[in-house]
């Protein structure tokens, strides 16, 4: 990363050198034992360069390992060296093992892998997900989601999923919340949206027993939009509704596990979410609005009551097929 371009560079070498700033912008370190990471100048604090308050104790050759003692941060030294806002960030970086190796990852990609596609998007400044549901390119998908016969909370959940708004560690990090980015369930992978919902070892067995698995296993590692569009193509609307409910249940159970200490949440089958969907859809059928053509319209048009009188109009109907009553009042 510190090579110079030289005096007579080849086309290939010039191309490499051209892309070096992009690579430098996107590469960061995940701290293992800290021995490969220079404390000064490298991005190792949540994808950012460390802000030191004092360089006196360090030189350019010092590595992050000098801040670690017996597998833990040397808090006294960290407090001496870093600017106050970053002290807590450094101390909250998890150290899993003193034998763990430092790893580079790409901050453009939720999974940490650099691809030409992500690099191009980053360079063009549009690697953010779509932010407006009115964007014409995406309007087809939004209309599809809003048309599904699923509870509103599940529809809104999917809107948040596709905007990368659900609070996974990667999404939080992209909104400048100081978290490390690892999955809180498996403690190993980057906690991207697709990882949390489909790819985490802690939840994957729940998908494996469903009819969605043969499709899902081919795409679970992709971006959430790719997964969504792939399944939209392959599933019927009714199947997609079951899938949408199951995904919501996976996320809901993760919250139950993490915040309500419900240790059985991660091993529940997804049948319950299908049952909930069936209940919701039958209740919706029962309450469906009766077509106007079937409503008896009174022969006389409405007229105002005499002065000092109140008028109360009521109507009721019975739907024989659904065994339901309806009433209206003005």
Nearer to Zn ion, 49 or 186 (CB): 186
- Least Cα distance to 67 among 77, 82, 58 occurs for 77
Does position 68 interact with Zn ion (CB under 5 A)? The reply is no
3-state class (DSSP) for residue 103: strand
C-beta of 109: minimal distance to Zn ion in Å? Answer: 16
Nearer to Zn ion, 67 or 200 (CB): 200
C-beta of 188: minimal distance to Zn ion in Å? Answer: 7
Q: Answer for the pair 274, 242: CB distance below 8 angstroms, yes or no.
A: yes
What residues between 252 and 281 interact with Zn ion by CB under 5 A? Answer: none
- Least Cα distance to 164 among 227, 74, 225, 96 occurs for 225
Nearer to Zn ion, 170 or 219 (CB): 170
Does position 183 interact with Zn ion (CB under 5 A)? The reply is yes
Nearer to Zn ion, 120 or 188 (CB): 188
Nearer to Zn ion, 154 or 185 (CB): 185
Nearer to Zn ion, 43 or 254 (CB): 254
C-beta of 194: minimal distance to Zn ion in Å? Answer: 11
Does position 200 interact with Zn ion (CB under 5 A)? The reply is yes
What are the phi and psi torsion angles at 326 (to 5°)?
-135, 145
Does position 203 interact with Zn ion (CB under 5 A)? The reply is no
C-beta of 187: minimal distance to Zn ion in Å? Answer: 7
Does position 204 interact with Zn ion (CB under 5 A)? The reply is no
Binding Zn ion (rule: CB under 5 A), the pick from 45, 64, 81, 185 is 185
According to DSSP H, which parts of the chain are helical? 11-26, 75-81, 84-91, 116-124, 136-147, 152-162, 169-174, 193-194, 204-208, 213-219, 224-234, 237-259, 271-286
How many residues line the site for Zn ion (CB under 5 A)? 5
Whose tokens are 């802690």? That residue is: 202
CA dihedral in degrees (157, 158, 162, 167; nearest 10)?
20
Distance between CA 37 and CA 105 in Å, rounded?
Answer: 13
C-beta of 220: minimal distance to Zn ion in Å? Answer: 12
Distance between CA 196 and CA 165 in Å, rounded?
Answer: 13
Distance between CA 254 and CA 200 in Å, rounded?
Answer: 11
According to DSSP H, which parts of 125-236 are helical? 136-147, 152-162, 169-174, 193-194, 204-208, 213-219, 224-234
C-beta of 8: minimal distance to Zn ion in Å? Answer: 49
Does position 222 interact with Zn ion (CB under 5 A)? The reply is no
Give the number of C-alpha atoms closer than 13 A to the C-alpha of residue 183, restricted to the C-beta side: 24
Q: Which stretch binds Zn ion (CB under 5 A): 185-193, 259-267, 299-307, 322-330?
A: 185-193
Q: Answer for the pair 193, 110: CB distance below 8 angstroms, yes or no.
A: yes
Does position 150 interact with Zn ion (CB under 5 A)? The reply is no
Q: Which stretch binds Zn ion (CB under 5 A): 31-39, 65-73, 177-185, 261-269?
A: 177-185
Q: How many CB atoms lie within 10 A of CB 96?
A: 14
According to DSSP H, which parts of 192-310 are helical? 193-194, 204-208, 213-219, 224-234, 237-259, 271-286
Nearer to Zn ion, 213 or 232 (CB): 213
Does position 186 interact with Zn ion (CB under 5 A)? The reply is yes
C-beta of 177: minimal distance to Zn ion in Å? Answer: 18
Does position 90 interact with Zn ion (CB under 5 A)? The reply is no
Q: Which stretch binds Zn ion (CB under 5 A): 34-42, 192-200, 217-225, 275-283?
A: 192-200
Summarize as ranges the residues that interact with Zn ion (CB under 5 A). Answer: 183, 185-186, 189, 200
């Amino acid at each position: 990363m510190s090579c110079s371009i030289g005096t007579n560079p080849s086309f290939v070498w010039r191309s490499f050198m051209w892309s070096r700033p992009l690579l430098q912008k996107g590469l960061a370190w995940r701290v293992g034992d800290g021995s490969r990471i220079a404390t000064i100048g490298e991005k190792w604090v949540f994808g950012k360069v460390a802000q030191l308050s004092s360089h006196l104790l360090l030189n350019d050759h010092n590595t992050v390992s000098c801040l670690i003692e017996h597998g833990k941060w040397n808090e006294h030294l960290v407090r001496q060296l870093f600017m106050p806002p970053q002290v807590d960030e450094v101390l909250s970086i998890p150290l899993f093992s003193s034998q763990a190796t430092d790893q580079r990852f790409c901050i453009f990609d939720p999974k940490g892998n650099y691809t030409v596609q992500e690099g191009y998007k980053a360079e063009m400044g549009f690697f953010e997900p779509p932010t407006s549901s009115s964007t014409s390119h995406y309007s087809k998908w939004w209309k599809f989601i809003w048309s599904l016969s699923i509870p509103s909370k599940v529809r809104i959940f999917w809107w948040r999923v596709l905007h990368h708004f659900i609070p996974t560690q990667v999404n939080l990090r992209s909104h400048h919340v100081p978290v490390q980015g690892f999955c809180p369930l498996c403690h190993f992978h980057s906690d991207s949206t697709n990882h949390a919902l489909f790819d985490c070892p802690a939840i994957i067995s729940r998908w494996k027993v469903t009819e969605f698995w043969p499709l899902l296993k081919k795409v679970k590692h992709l971006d959430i939009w790719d997964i969504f569009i792939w399944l939209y193509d392959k599933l019927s609307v009714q199947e997609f509704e079951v899938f949408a409910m199951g995904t919501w249940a996976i996320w809901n159970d993760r919250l139950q596990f993490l915040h309500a200490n419900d240790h059985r949440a991660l091993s529940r089958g997804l049948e319950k979410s299908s049952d909930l969907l069936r209940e919701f859809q039958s209740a919706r059928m029962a309450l469906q609005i009766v077509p106007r053509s079937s409503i008896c319209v009174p022969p006389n048009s409405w007229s105002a009551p005499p002065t000092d009188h109140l008028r109360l109009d009521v109507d009721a109907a019975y739907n024989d097929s659904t065994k339901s009553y309806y009433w209206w009042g003005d």
